Amino acid sequence: MLNRLKSWDRLGLRLFLLMWGALAFSHLVAWLMLSQVLRGNLGPMKPPVGAAPSMRTDGPCRPPAGPPRGFGPGGFHGEGAEDFGDLGPPQHRGPQMAPPAARQAPMPTFPSLPPNLPWNASLVDYGVRLLIIAMAAWWGSRWLAAPVRRLVSAAQQLTPALAQGRPAPSLDEEHGTREVQEAAVVFNRMAAELSGQFEERGLMIAAISHDLRTPLTRMRLRLETGEVEAKVRDRCVDDLREMNRLVESVIEVFRPADMAQPQRVDLSALAQSAVDDLAETGLAVSFDGPPAVVRADPVAMRRVVDNLVGNALRYAGHARVSVQLTAGVTRLVVDDDGPGIPEAELARVHQPFRRVESSRNRETGGTGLGLYIAQQLVRRQGAALALSNRPEGGLRAEVVF
């Protein structure tokens, strides 16, 4: 029985009932109030002069100033209407406006109202109807928009949730109209499938990469122990290193994100250490900036700094790292004076395995995953990575917290 009722619970029906109910209700309330107003006006209206001030809408709550004059609780429809016909404010009842039918057609009868109301009574009438219909429409529109809003916000959360390895958001499948429930079911299924596929793909690639380590280790050892010509061995070792870098990067990309535990870290100390470590090996990197505390996973942030600086070193031969504090926003900036990236390519370098063709080829090293990993890691910290070409030339990579 309940289910049969539920199957009728469609958006259209609800909307129909709402509008219909609101209209009927507004008529009823307007009529009730008006009748109160008119009844309240009866007394003071007897002497037409000075009636106006007491004709305001506070009528219903206020006992009639004058004697009810036959306005008994039950006698409203009959006598009252007749009385009204007699006693309406004369200033609004020009002779031409006083139809002879006023007496024969007693009023007010629900829901119609007499055509010749006093101006303030019309005001109450229209005001009440407008107010009630407006409120119903406002409430109805909010009510209608709510499931759509929920759907939009769930859809917005889906991408970051998938990127960060969090469970996908789910919608309430039990409440709302049939359309809303159906949309929730479809969305939830889609989100579950997506996150399942994401996870599966990640696990598979991580497993393959992981299993590649054993043969890589074997080959590396074989190169040392077997009878291999030194020149061949060196080249093979280089290849193995490159394969290993790739494997590591891939694992980095698909590593479950929940390993990262954000803590409060001094971003400047972190960047300074990364720069000092590189400078210690003779690379041209510098750092400058005030202490700045951010919430981040230090291991991931270190990787981000290393990747961005590594990128600058690879294409420009040097890097300038700085931390900037402006208006509550903390930025980690990596600048270089290299060739930069053509504007058309800028948006795409975040993509995995993307290298800018002319300047960024395999010869200059890199797997094409560096910026992608940096971006993924930065996102997981709730920050953003922005790349831009500096007006002076060179590339600027910014991590904005």
Please identify, using beta-carbon distances, which residue of 123 and 269 lies nearer to other proteins.
Answer: 269
Burial class of 2 by CB neighbour count within 10 A (0 to 12, 13 to 18, 19+): exposed
Q: How far is the CB of 195 from other proteins (least distance, A)?
A: 22
Query: Stretches 86-94, 118-126, 196-204, 269-277: which one binds other proteins (CB under 8 A)?
Result: 269-277
232 interacts with other proteins by CB under 8 A: no
For residue 274, state whether it binds other proteins (rule: CB under 8 A). yes
Pick between residue 151 and residue 219 the one whose CB is nearest to other proteins.
219
Residues 278-317 that bind other proteins (CB under 8 A): 280-281, 293, 298-299, 302
Work out which of 3, 214, 329, 343 binds other proteins, going by CB under 8 A.
Answer: 214
Q: Is 233 in the site for other proteins (CB under 8 A)?
A: no
Q: Per CB under 8 A, which region of 63-71, 144-152, 262-270, 373-381 contacts other proteins? A: 262-270
| Per CB under 8 A, 208 contacts other proteins | no
Shortest Å, Cβ 298 to other proteins: 5
Subset of 241-260 contacting other proteins (CB under 8 A): 244, 248, 251-252, 255, 259
Q: Which of 62, 142, 175, 213 binds other proteins (CB under 8 A)?
A: 213
Q: For residue 323, with 0-12 CB atoms within 10 Å meaning exposed, 13-18 middle and 19 or more buried, which class applies?
A: buried
Q: Say whether residue 112 binds other proteins (CB under 8 A).
A: no
Q: Which residues bind other proteins (CB under 8 A)?
A: 210, 213-214, 216-222, 224-225, 240, 244, 248, 251-252, 255, 259, 263-266, 269-270, 272-274, 276-277, 280-281, 293, 298-299, 302
